[in-house]
Amino acid sequence: MLGRPEQCDRRKPFFKSHCNWMPATKPIGDPRGFCAKSIRPIDRRVVSRVVNDESGLRLAFGVAKRAREHGNHPFGAVLVGRDGEILLDAENGYLPERDMTAHAERLLATAASRQYRPDKLANCTMYVSAEPCAMCAGAIYWAGIGRVVYGLSERRLKKLTGNHAENPTLDLPCRAVFAAGQRKVDVAGPLLEDEAAALHAGVWD
C-alpha cells in the first residue's frame, strides 16, 4: 500500500508533491509503489456511514481535493458497503512514479479486490468524483463492484482537460463498458456535476 520516501520523485511535480511513508493501518495488498496517501481505510472518527448518494459523492470530492493537495490530479473514489459502511478511499496516484494508470478508481478497485470477497463487493457502491474511464470501468467490473455513482461526466471532463499530456481524456461512457460485460453494474451519474467540475479549476490550464 505504501511507498517509501526514496520512491517519491519531487523533481518535476504536476503540483507540489507530498508523499510520505507510514505504516499501513489496514493491509490491502502489495505495499510496493504506492504513495502513503493514495489508498487508505476511512477514519471512522470523522464519518462512519453514507446515508445517500450526495453524501457519498461529497466524500469522493473531499478525497479529490486531498489528491490535489498532495500534488496529484484532483480525482478521488470511496468504497461503501451495503449498509452504508465506509470501507476504503483512494486518491489519484499519478505521482511519484508518473503512473498514467494510477487513477483513483483503478487503485481502489485493485485494493478492494485484494481485500474483500466478490459476494461482498457485489453489494458495494463506489463513489467517484469523475466518471470512470474505460480502464477504470474494466477494473471495477473485474473486481465485481456492483454499483458506481459519479460526479463529473467524461464528456465534460474532456472539455476541461483538452488534450493535456497528463490526462488525454478517453470519452467513452462507463455504461457502454459495463453493458459489454456478463455481470450487471448499476450506474448513477452525472450528479452534482458543477461541484465536481469546480475541483478542476485552474488545473489543466
Whether 105 is catalytic is yes
Q: Which residue is catalytic, options 105, 131, 154, 193? A: 105
Rounded Cα distance, 170 and 172, in Å = 6
Asked whether 11 and 71 are in contact (CB, 8 A), the reply is no
- The set of cell numbers assigned to 111 is 485494493
The residues that are catalytic are: 105
